[in-house]
């Protein structure tokens, strides 16, 4: 799917670096179209992206660099954990007493923890873990997560089968 961009854009629309009131970058239609192109294929050449969005290769290169510098996106290789030796994935719900932020920081520092989010739901924190096997997962939960001062309890949700994983939500 290719996005078309109107050739007569104002200077404000050409600049993807403006910020909204809360300090996050405001993305124009062209930046969103570039992101969508890269989500479809992270190795797509800048010339092809430029043709799809109506910019030169150099302008696309500059936009992509600005989006990377602003932390709006990353370009990374995504692996299937099973194919690289990690046979057990689980989401761990964590109940915390005291400072949630310090627990979240400690979880973030653990190499087995891939995703940490503080929530307003029935858990204070959700942490996704990727482990080699059940013994490794047990060690991470029992000896590392539960050992953190302030962790009151945990509940683990072991993944049986991954049905969908997508990164396309950024441009809906």
Of 156, 160, 166, 163, the C-alpha closest to 125 is: 156
pLDDT along the chain (172 residues), means of 10: 29 45 78 92 94 95 94 83 79 97 98 96 96 95 97 96 76 62
DSSP 42-78: TT--HHHHHHHHT--HHHHHHHHHHHHHTTS------
The pLDDT value given to residue 81: 72
The pLDDT value given to residue 13: 37
User: Which residues lie across from 109 on neighbouring strands?
Assistant: none
This model's pTM is above 0.75: no
The pLDDT value given to residue 12: 35
Burial 86-104 (b: 16+ CB within 10 A, else e): bebbbbbbbebeeeeeebb
Q: Which residue has the tokens 């939960």?
A: 141
User: Which residues lie across from 113 on neighbouring strands?
Assistant: 129
């Amino acid at each position: 799917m290719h996005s078309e961009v109107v050739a007569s854009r104002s200077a404000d629309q050409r600049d993807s670096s403006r910020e909204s009131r809360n300090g996050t970058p405001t993305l124009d239609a062209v930046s969103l179209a570039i992101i969508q192109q890269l989500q479809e294929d992270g190795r797509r050449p800048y010339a092809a992206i430029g043709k799809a969005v109506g910019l030169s290769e150099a302008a696309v290169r500059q936009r992509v660099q600005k989006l990377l510098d602003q932390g709006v996106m990353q370009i990374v290789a995504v692996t299937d954990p099973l194919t690289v030796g990690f046979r057990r994935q689980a989401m761990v719900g964590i109940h915390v007493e005291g400072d949630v932020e310090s627990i979240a920081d400690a979880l973030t520092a653990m190499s087995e923890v891939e995703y940490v989010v503080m929530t307003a739901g029935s858990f204070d924190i959700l942490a996704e873990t990727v482990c080699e096997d059940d013994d490794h997962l047990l060690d991470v939960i029992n000896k590392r997560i539960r050992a953190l001062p302030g962790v009151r309890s945990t509940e683990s949700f072991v993944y049986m089968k991954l049905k969908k994983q997508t990164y396309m939500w950024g441009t809906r």
